[in-house]
A and B are shown apart, each in its own frame.
Chain A
Amino acid sequence: MTDLAIDLLWLVILLPLAGALFLHFVGQRLPEPMAGLLASAAIGLSFLVGLVGAFPFFQGDGEATTILLWSWMPAIGANLELLWDPLSALMTLIVTGVGFLIHVFAIGYMHGDERFGRFFVNLNLFAASMLTLVLAGNYAMLFLGWELVGLCSYLLIGFWFTRDSAAGAAKKAFVVNRIGDFGMMVALMLVFAAFGTLSYAGIFDRAGEVLTTGVATAIGLLFLLAAAGKSAQIPLYVWLPDAMEGPTPVSALIHAATMVTAGVYLVARSAAIFELSPTAQVTVATIGAATALWAASIAIAQYDIKKVLAYSTISQLGYMFMAVGATAYVAGIFHLMTHAFFKALLFLGAGSVIHAMSDEQDMRKMGGLLSKMPVTGVTMGIATLAIAGVPPLAGFWSKDEILGSLFARGGWYGVLWVVGLLTAAMTAFYMTRQWVMVFWGEPRWSEDAHPHESPGMMTLPLIALAALTVVGGFVNTPFRFTLEHFLEPVFEGVSMQHPPEGWGMFALMAGISVFAGLVGLAAAGLAYRRPMEDWAEFEQGLQPVWGWWEQAYRVDDFYNVTVVQPGKKAAEAAAFSVDLPVIDGAVNGVGRLARGIGERVRVLQTGQVRNYAALLFAGAIALVVWLAVTGA
């Protein structure tokens, strides 16, 4: 059964792809829920294939296998091949498992949308692309998936493209990601120049003997640039808050649980290369820490329910980068997994709230919703406690392992540990602020809003994700490092950072981080359970800092002045000084030349057959004369 599942592993990618193609060509005419059910079934089956295929890894006797599907360009190691090892298996299960729940939620959420079928085409296409990325057995195929998820992200952010803001956000996401992709391409060229292949098998085993520290650093930093684009890290994070223009299930699936973690996966997958460059490691960790703190501070002062979650995602991704930068790969992947659970839950909960409030996203116009929508409120509350690091929920274990690893590595990473703690307190603060603003306090919605609990199609995924959020952390606790042992074969041969040994240290670490979380939680709870006038006054008391946070440090304006406008000017200059006169001039000139010659020689074509005959005859005579004279 398991062998069969591994032989049929290509089905994991093919099922959602087939779903997308079928829905595209046939399914658009299906009645509404059918398209969503088919798409959900496709990804659900994909999950089952992956689950069965992963059994050997669960039992601890699985071997990493490479499955060659098609020899594409074997000379450079760029084939369609799947690498099935614990890391790709875990990523596959996260993508398909969380993806399935979000698909189901979307059936309810997208109800009544006139492009219902089209939405599920894109959603399934995204799942297939993301699975291509995580299952790839070489960098070429990874890059293929990398670009495809970017495309799907673009399509889904701009799903409601008739809204200018959505179309603009999609474009922004695409363009910013291209900057990261540039880093990816140069990195892959360097890898190819050094190894002569793009295949993982030919790279990771030989990295130590082939790469010098300088080249490893260059590749590592370029990978970081690529990851910063895809995973929304400083300085390329600006597209993610705008990406909230997409439908909320998209935000949950792509911009919280799966696609944005591709950068973390890339660094973890390339551990053998980062192993050789402490400079690249420390840069990754520092960028992650800076992003975590920066985004958390912005999240504190947002009023849009989805914007809070967007900045929170950026901040949590920063956490993962801190972990993988400090070579605590298991901790990073662990947090990737738990974050997928509770952040998907938060986004879906936000979607449920937005749905109930008739597309209202401003938290100042909510409040007191807990009694109106208890399931959404309680599940979101669980996720809030999890992200705040309250034991024993999932977020506590993974966040604690990251912080412990940073502390254990010491030195500069010790400074990052302090940043992480500060971020943890801020995270607890803004998440509690959000929950209290939405579900607690006095109702601030207008008379004609009739909030109501969402249908079962939407609350069931919430409950499932809440269950995962509660139990998900127990896969890797100091009592039993299951995930650690599970992932160990992947990181064989690279040095890995662990949290400090011993129960005393664990209690100390956990105590400090839980304390930080509880401080943030209590502060927000005390501040925001009061009426709106009071906490508005509290926020005003924090001016001018609050204003900077609320406006996200005006980074968009800064980029607009320094990058976007000069870029547009340069493009305009090139258009009017080079493109029009030179390029268009050359093309039109050739056309004009041909027409001019035609004008002149058309008189020869008289339409009189005997004229042609005479010309032919004269030509023949001329030829004969010429031959006679030259004597040839």
Chain B
Amino acid sequence: MVAPGWYMALAAALFLVGALGLLIRRNALVMFMCIELMLNAVNLTLVAAGRALNDINGQVAVFFILVVAAAEVVVGLAIIVSIFRLRSTASVDELSEMKG
């Protein structure tokens, strides 16, 4: 059996990739994928820890996150598609109407 530490390391790496991608990329669609990556990195830590500690709660939490993430994707993608239709671009830097 693979030691839990490896799972954690992999999850951390995935999370970092997602976080950096979110900060660096401008395309809304890519940023969205980065968020999904971060979510799944967290899922990985939860199942790994759940299994190592022999606690079913880790897997239960993952299901919750999956469901919520699915819902979020539906809404988020719909918004992105409609923005794209409106402006023919998905660059978040050009969407700054909410500046205070």
Q: Verify if B85 is at the interface (C-beta below 8 Å from A).
A: no
Instruction: Tell whether A608 is near chain B: CB-to-CB under 8 Å.
Output: yes
- A606 sits at the interface (CB 8 A): yes
Per-position 1/0 for A607-632, Cβ under 8 A of B: 11110011001000000000000000
Let me know if A608 and B92 touch, CB within 8 A.
yes
Q: How far is the CB of B84 from chain A (nearest CB, A)?
A: 15
Within 8 A of A (CB), among B19-69: 19, 22-23, 26, 31
- Chain B residue nearest to A620 (CB atoms) is B19
Chain A contact residues: helix, strand, loop or mixed: helix
Cβ-defined contact, A605 with B99, below 8 A: yes
Q: Give chain A residues whose Cβ lies under 8 Å from the Cβ of B81.
A: none
The answer to whether B10 has its CB under 8 Å from any CB of chain A is no
A317 to B22, CA, bound (A): 88
Cβ of B13 under 8 Å from chain A: no
Distance to closest chain A CB from B27 (angstroms): 11
- B23–A607 CB distance below 8 A: no
Cβ of B22 and Cβ of A607 under 8 Å apart? no
Residue of B nearest to A598 (CB): B100
Q: Chain B residue with minimal CB distance to A601?
A: B100
Q: How far is the CA of A558 from the CA of B26 in the complex (A)?
A: 83
Taking the nearest CB of chain A, how far is it from the CB of B98, in angstroms?
A: 5
Tell whether B88 is near chain A: CB-to-CB under 8 Å. no
Contact B23 A617 (CB under 8 A): yes
Shortest Cβ distance from A609 into B: residue: B92
Q: Is the CB of A613 within 8 A of B93?
A: no
A604 and B26 CA atoms in complex are apart in Å by: 20
Query: Which residues of the other chain, A, contact B23 by a CB distance below 8 angstroms?
Result: 610, 613-614, 617
Residues of B within 8 A of A610 (CB): 22-23, 26, 92-93
**Assuming the A-B contacts A608-B93, A610-B92, are A602 and B100 also in contact, with contact meaning beta carbons closer than 8 angstroms in the complex?**
yes
**Is there contact, CB below 8 Å, between B99 and A607?**
yes
Contacting pair B95 A603 (CB below 8 A): no
| Residues B100 and A605 in contact, CB atoms below 8 Å apart | yes
Residue of B nearest to A614 (CB): B23
A605 proximity list for chain B (CB < 8 A):
98-100
Residue from A602, A603, A610, A614 whose CB has the most chain B CB atoms within 10 Å = A610
Contacting pair A607 B96 (CB below 8 A): yes
Q: How many residues of B contact A (CB 8 A)?
A: 13
A531 to B39 alpha-carbon distance, docked (Å): 109
Residue of A605, A608, A617 with highest tally of chain B CB at under 10 A: A608
The size bracket of the interface on A is 10 to 19
Please, how many angstroms separate the alpha-carbon atoms of A616 and B72 in the complex? 19
Taking A613-B22, A614-B23, A617-B19 as contacts, is the C-beta distance between A606 and B99 under 8 angstroms? yes
**A607 x B98 contact (CB < 8 A):** yes
Q: How far is the CA of A613 from the CA of B26 in the complex (A)?
A: 12
Query: How far, in Å, is A543 (CB) from chain B's closest CB?
Result: 81
Residue contact B97 to A607, C-beta cutoff 8 Å: yes
A605 to B97, CA, bound (A): 10
Within the complex, what minimum Cβ distance (angstroms) separates A631 from chain B?
19
CB distance from B19 to the nearest CB of A (A): 6
| CA of A602 to CA of B100, assembled, Å | 5
User: A467: shortest Cβ distance to chain B, in Å?
Assistant: 82
Which residues does chain B contribute within 8 Å of A606, judged by CB atoms? 96, 99-100
Q: Across the two chains, which residue of chain A brings its CB closest to B93? A: A608
A469 CB to nearest B CB, Å: 80
Q: Which residues of A contact B100 (CB under 8 A)?
A: 602-607
A604 to B100, CA, bound (A): 8
For A605, the closest partner residue in chain B by CB is: B100
Query: How far is B92's CA from A602's CA once the two chains are assembled, in angstroms?
Result: 20
Within 8 A of A (CB), among B75-100: 92-93, 95-100
CB-nearest residue of chain A to B34: A613
User: What's the least CB distance linking A142 to chain B, in Å?
Assistant: 60
On chain A, the residues within 8 Å of B31 by CB distance are 609, 613
- When C-beta atoms are compared, the residue in chain A nearest to B92 turns out to be A609
Minimum distance in angstroms from B35 CB to a CB of chain A: 9
Q: Per-residue 0/1 for A572-613: is the Cβ within 8 Å of any B Cβ (1 yes, 0 no)? A: 000000000000000000000000000000111111111001
CA A605 to CA B19, docked complex, whole Å: 21
Q: How far is the CB of A554 from the nearest CB of chain B, in Å?
A: 67
Q: How far is the CA of A248 from the CA of B93 in the complex (A)?
A: 77
- In the complex, what residues of B have CB within 8 A of residue A603's CB? 100
Closest to A603 in B: B100
19 A-B interface contacts by CB (under 8 A): A603-B100, A605-B99, A606-B96, A606-B99, A607-B95, A607-B96, A607-B97, A607-B98, A607-B99, A607-B100, A608-B99, A609-B31, A609-B95, A610-B23, A610-B26, A613-B22, A613-B23, A617-B19, A617-B23
Interface residues of B (CB under 8 A from A): 19, 22-23, 26, 31, 92-93, 95-100
Q: A605-B98, A608-B96, A613-B23 provided; 8 other pairs, C-beta below 8 A? A: A604-B100, A607-B97, A608-B92, A609-B92, A610-B22, A610-B26, A617-B19, A617-B23
For the complex of A and B, list the 8 residue pairs with the smallest distance between their C-beta atoms, beginning with the closest.
A607-B96, A607-B99, A605-B100, A602-B100, A609-B92, A607-B98, A613-B22, A614-B23
